[in-house]
Structure 1
């Protein structure tokens, strides 16, 4: 019964996406990227005789979370080909040329027929699902084909359907995994309560990723010139809801402060609206790059109008505000935390373990309005060192989840080697 409802929902979702594709660019990418997927995949794999492992990520954030494992697998098992799939265009379109994988494509919609054909074409030796991805038909097809399936960096909460009295169908999905590596002890307990014990508390592989990114950070001379020894607030992945709080704050804050603002999405008209609302001078990155003289001592805000440099910009900051927690979902706060600084974000953070942890430890400060941001920031402005040390130490002590995932992988790979010899 529930599988029928689920499959009907998948078909309905596909119909709605095709309808939305007529006027929504992201929906159009979602639909077009899956057109003739079986033929495209068959052509890509033509002539390949190497075994394949499959990694699936919902979007860009989950891919970056899984990237340390992908690259560790590549290093330890170079004879395998790696296939990466994405659900969302925001992941695929950014990472479709990622050189750490041999094949990259959209995940076909989760129908029983698509799942069967996908597994039949790819013949993966091992499948990985990163964090939140639970697709019934794919998991069922993998289980039927006896393909070991691993979920890692997963995190569970009591309000999820898996743990409801009527959540039997969703619990079935979890039982299809051969091993689940979770971020925290609460997740271990929740899974144990419903009889799932093939679980390891390994932590979050994002810590490994942000440590790698920080170590490989790029120098951005224009940002250093703009900062010019002043205290600097880096605003990462800002949405309009965040700017509705930040702009009044910046207009009224009367202490020396430089601000770098990186929007979540680049829209020229939106950036210009923000500049008009800011009462203190601002400059766009592209303009200042073409003419560095536009950066004057009194220029308060540098607005980034490109994608890809945010993780390196944090190295110049004493403070960070991370966007998304008013509506869309809090973006990656660990990229900033690894450089050591007080962290500010909106009020909807309760689904993000790292935000809860850093709030508890005294390095993160959720704000719901302009007044709260002014009060919280003013307190940290005069003494940011304690929060900075806490946030940096938090990242450092949580590094190591990738190694634990690879230990589980090693067990499955050894079992496969034994079967091949027998």
Structure 2
């Protein structure tokens, strides 16, 4: 426990130092310092690490809001990327940064929001919060949980983390291997419900949002969408527009600071790319209609690439696409492949995908493709573009894969509903 507490304080100190020159670190520190907590007589507490986990747990959050409209819902985030984008979500009565995991903070926070239950998505295991929930007999659920043998829970020195697991009332897991790992520790309060992300992306694909200017940019052509990209991805992807001039390309970088966006534009053929904000705001990019109804694109015929310079539209962008590349596979790991898969888009990604069940399963189905270099990227893109039968089969496989894996939300809610009846 001593080392855990020291580690928490050391982490805070490191982020504090970084906050003097890093925007995200500054938001992390100042957001916690400045927030004022409202008192609740009772609430349902949802915690998410970041934006991705929010979208993953969103089907449960929406179901709770719909089925129990009189219940107050409190949402917390660990990271600024989740809080800053979803701090005004109508799905919650209050949205906060999770205070640092200390004994006093955990007690004060839980006493303030008075949760009837707590729901954590995928991961985020904080000892003092879990312990305080346990001491106050507040049911704690992990949804879309996933475990791997290399995690600290399964190491000889992971006693404290194993104790955290004992504070959880029920685990809703993504796969059987996670269940087996917990069973090996003597933990049997588990259900393999699947991943709620499938429910989220499926619902999104059935009712996609229209995005201003995208249909005009596409203009009836085929569209390649590169989502959540990093510089290592973009070095390879930047070669594609020149190779496939009949296609349009949309790049949605993971980070949208001005210098990052400008760097990406400079990688692309000169004069061929424009920022999304400029595209929708500047009249010179608007498509004009001739007397016979045909499109006049004399002002924009040279534009083949659009670079998204905002956050929040990627999941709906895929509705316009034909092929998707998912970034992150040359770094810590790939981002969300399922958002594109739900629209039937074949997905391509880098080599670091092994931690992600859906990526491994898509490769096994030959509906997802991992590449390690420019040659492999060009090879699979060329096959998807030129072989119509292969493309059609791949698209059907990936669409069906997502549909067949929906249903986790219903299973989880049936259990939670029984708990709500006891409250």
TM norm structure 1: 0.92
Distance 2:14 2:244 in 1: 49
Give distance in 1, aligned partners of 2:25 and 2:403: 39
CA contact (8 A) 1:54 1:128 kept: yes
Q: How far does the alpha carbon of each residue in 1:168-214 deviate from its partner, in whole angstroms, 9 at most, with x for none?
A: 22111111100000001111111111111000000111111112222
Query: What is the CA distance between 1:254 and its match in structure 2?
Result: 4.3
Relative to structure 1, the CA distance from residue 256 to residue 36 in structure 2 (aligned partners, 3 Å threshold; closer, same or farther) is: closer
Name the counterpart of 1:247: 238
How far 1:61 sits from its partner (Å)? 0.5
Q: Counterpart of 1:332 in 2: which secondary structure?
A: coil
CA distances 1:68-112 after superposition (whole Å, capped 9, x unpaired): 101101111222100000000110010000011001100000011
- The corresponding residue for 1:419 is none
Choose which of 373, 391, 399 in structure 2 pairs with 1:392: 399
Structure-2 residue corresponding to 1:32: 30
For residues 271-314 of structure 1, the C-alpha deviation after alignment (integer angstroms, 9 at most, x for no partner) is 33333332262222223222225763443212222222212211
Residues 166, 307 of structure 1: alpha-carbon distance in 2 compared, 3 angstrom cutoff? closer
- Deviation of residue 256 (structure 1)? 2.6
Helix, strand or coil at the partner of 2:239: helix
Whether 2:278 is the aligned partner of 1:271: answer: no
CA displacement at 1:64 relative to structure 2: 0.9
Q: Distance in 1 between matches of 2:32 and 2:6?
A: 19
Say what the alpha-carbon RMSD is for the aligned residues: 1.7
Q: Contact 2:241/2:305 (CA < 8 Å) preserved in 1?
A: no
Structure 2 gaps, min length 5: 288-296
Is the 2:227–2:252 contact (alpha carbons within 8 Å) kept by the matching residues of 1? yes
Secondary structure of 1:35's aligned partner = helix
Give the SS at the match of 1:33. helix
1:365, CA displacement in angstroms?
A: 0.5
Asked if structure 2 preserves the Cα contact closer than 8 Å seen for 1:52 and 1:122, the reply is yes
Of 193, 198, 214, 2:205 maps to 214
Deviation at 1:371, TM superposition (A): 0.9
The answer for the alignment partner of 1:58 in structure 2 is 49
Question: Residue in 1 aligned with 2:376?
Answer: 372
The match for 1:154 is 145
Whole-Å Cα distance in 2 between the matches of residues 98 and 393 of structure 1?
A: 31
Count of aligned pairs = 406
Corresponding residue of 2:290: none
Change (3 A) 1:231 1:14: same
**What CA distance in whole angstroms lies between the structure 2 residues aligned with 1:270 and 1:200?**
43
Alignment partner, residue 412 of structure 1: 419
Give the match's secondary structure for 1:116: helix
1:330 paired with 2:334, answer yes
Answer whether contact 1:249 1:370 (CA < 8 A) is retained.
no
